[in-house]
Amino acid sequence: MLAVHEHSTFGKTVLRLPGANTGIGKTTAMDLARRGAKVILACRDKRKAEVAIQEIIQETGNQQVIFMQLDLASLQSVRSFADNFLKSESRLDLLINNAGIISGGKTEDGFGMILSVNHLGPFLLTLLLLDRLKASGPSRVVNVSSIGHKQGRMDFNCLTTHKDLGLGSSYFQVHRKYCHSKLCNVLFTYELAKRLQGSDVTCYSLHPGAIMTEIFRDSSFWWTLLIKPVEFLFFKDAEAGAQTTLYCALEPGIEHLSGHYFDQCSLQTNIHPKARDDATSKKLWELSESFCGLS
């Protein structure tokens, strides 16, 4: 396990997006609560979140662990969440976007499910909370991506025509959409850093490692059956998987690396050019703004 330098978050407010009630999301929330932060778990499933919150409070003794309802598959839910957050919370020191599903289908807004949950929802929420992040600076945005972004590509024709990252519903096609969405995370971080220059907000994307989590919970029975033996043999546990997220969230002295991609608590300098392409990141930003009704 890679160590994260001790860095107090006492008195800071941390917003942890979906996945905070299981796996590396819960492990990260546990660590931040133990350091004294006020941790807000933004989740769809209230029952599961409340179980996780009680466990975190019991383990850490920190009573400032709170649930707020959020469904990233609904842009209206994202807007309602942002409104409620801004009314109830005076500061935001750390935003961790942890969404990562592998599931087909469309949302109520007509977008591909993976596109909406893994990219558009976090994109919209980050922008809606950006002024609060700036007012609370120095603050950070951490976007949990995946090494799968290397297999991703941006098909803007498909995005504009079908409001999706790709076509098809086979296991392979759905997994490809997931990889495309993780490339979106890296490109969003890269573009966000450029637009935050001169502010006191920095941002980072990362690969947490191959983790034993519930990411395949919405996949088919046969795909789950196939992946389980591989997961058991080669995947990390949640504690090990949370370390790079914690590094990007807490490590002092990395502010000059805003917009960069990390793996195993280290800056990755050999990232593929497609993940740091100015024209592509700008085009994705503008299209995302349009999809979210911001432009």
What's the pLDDT at 11?
Answer: 73
Residue 110: burial class (beta carbons within 10 Å; 0-12, 13-18, 19+):
exposed
pTM score, two decimals?
0.89
* CA gap 235, 228 in Å, rounded: 10
Q: Please identify every stretch of the chain with a pLDDT value under 70, giving residue numbers as ranges.
A: 1-10, 18-22, 210-236, 238
247 carries an active-site annotation: no
Catalytic residue, from 178, 190, 204, 247: name it.
Answer: 178
What phi and psi values does residue 90 have, to the nearest 5 degrees?
A: -85, -15
What's the pLDDT at 241?
Answer: 82
Residue 19 contacts residue 241 (beta carbons within 8 Å): no
Token pair for residue 248? Answer: 């990007």
Q: Count Cβ neighbours within 10 Å for each residue of 72-94 and write b for 16 or more, e otherwise.
A: bbbbebbeebbeebeeebeebbb
Token pair for residue 155? Answer: 């098909």
DSSP 211: B
What's the pLDDT at 223?
Answer: 47
What's the pLDDT at 237?
Answer: 72
CATH assignment, 13-292: 3.40.50.720
- Roughly what angle, to the nearest 10 degrees, separates helices 243-250 and 23-34? 40
What's the pLDDT at 266?
Answer: 97
